[in-house]
């Protein structure tokens, strides 16, 4: 059942119900709302395996699948002029998504969801993006690719008004302190999209929350992972799990 839309004037109820229930998986709340470890992935399905590769599309010059890991790589002899995506062919609406990722120090990447393709640009997406990068400057934030850009930086709870401008209405922590949640090596992203509410979590910690009442908000669309144009880099994704609400 879709989640009712949330508005800024219901912020107190939002924090109590959403953080007390939807985000019970976070480490801060686990002590109050224990979730058995064996049930953490209940209802999820693996969506990127050797058997499901035919459901995905991307530029083979930059993407490959090896031993259960999707690898996106830019090299000196194959530089990238525009952002490119590896795209699932299923439309997503209200869902949870979990994936483990590892990115090189120079890497810049992201996970797009509820997105649309771009006319005239192959393997490009426009829409919500959960950022990740090797320098850990952007990881956790909600950026809209080819759209309204920064909707919530790391640590913010924002309300996007009808005119599509975001306004900070709360905080889940200080941006610099939250940066310490991101580890060297493998990290886990956890995304939740229900109605007009979007939640980004990294390694069990809430990083950003957006309530989107903007004219340009998207309620459904495509899911894909990105390689950002720029210098040589490498990003890896594994253990992609998806659950529909």
Q: Which fold has domain 45-244?
A: Jelly Rolls (2.60.120)
Question: CA 182 to CA 189: how far, in whole Å?
Answer: 10
Distance of CA 121 to the CA centre of its chain: 22
Domain borders along the chain are: 45-244
pLDDT at 101: 98
CA atoms lying within 13 Å on the CB side of residue 73: 10
pLDDT at 38: 58
Please list, in sequence order, all residues whose beta carbon lies within 8 angstroms of the beta carbon of residue 202, skipping any fewer than 6 positions away: 139, 140, 181, 182, 187, 188, 189, 190
pLDDT at 215: 98
pLDDT at 163: 98
pLDDT at 17: 53
Using CA atoms, how far residue 193 sits from 114, 121, 235, in Å, is 9, 26, 24
pLDDT at 174: 96
pLDDT at 49: 98
This prediction has a pTM of 0.86
pLDDT tens-place values along the chain, 245 residues long: 334 444 444 443 454 455 444 444 344 434 433 444 457 889 999 999 999 999 999 999 999 999 999 999 999 999 999 999 999 999 999 999 999 999 999 999 999 999 999 999 999 999 999 999 999 999 999 999 999 999 999 999 999 999 999 999 999 999 999 999 999 999 999 999 999 999 999 999 999 999 999 999 999 999 999 999 999 999 999 999 999 99
CB 217 within 8 A of CB 127: no
β partners of residue 117: 125
pLDDT at 18: 52
């Amino acid at each position: 059942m879709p989640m009712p839309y949330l508005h800024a004037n219901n912020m107190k109820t939002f924090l109590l119900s959403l953080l007390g229930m939807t985000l019970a998986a976070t480490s801060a709340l686990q002590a109050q709302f224990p979730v058995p470890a064996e049930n953490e992935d209940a209802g999820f399905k693996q969506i990127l395996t050797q058997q499901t590769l035919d459901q995905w599309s991307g530029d083979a010059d930059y993407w490959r699948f090896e031993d259960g890991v999707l690898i996106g790589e830019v090299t000196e002899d194959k530089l990238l002029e525009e952002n490119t995506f590896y795209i699932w062919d299923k439309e997503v609406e209200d869902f949870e998504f979990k994936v483990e990722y590892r990115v090189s120090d120079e890497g810049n990447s992201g996970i797009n969801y509820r997105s649309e393709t771009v006319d005239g640009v192959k393997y490009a997406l426009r829409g919500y993006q959960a950022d990740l990068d090797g320098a850990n400057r952007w990881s956790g934030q909600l950026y809209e690719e080819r759209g309204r850009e920064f909707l919530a930086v790391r640590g913010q709870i924002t309300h996007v008004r009808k005119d599509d401008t975001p306004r900070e209405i709360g905080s889940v922590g200080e941006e610099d302190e939250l940066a310490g949640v991101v580890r060297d090596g493998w990290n886990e992203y956890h995304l939740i999209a229900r109605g007009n509410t979007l939640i980004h979590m990294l390694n069990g910690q809430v990083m950003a929350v957006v309530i989107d009442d903007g004219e340009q908000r998207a309620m459904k669309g495509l899911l894909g992972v990105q390689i950002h144009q720029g210098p040589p880099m490498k990003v890896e994704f594994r253990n992609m799990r998806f659950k529909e609400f």
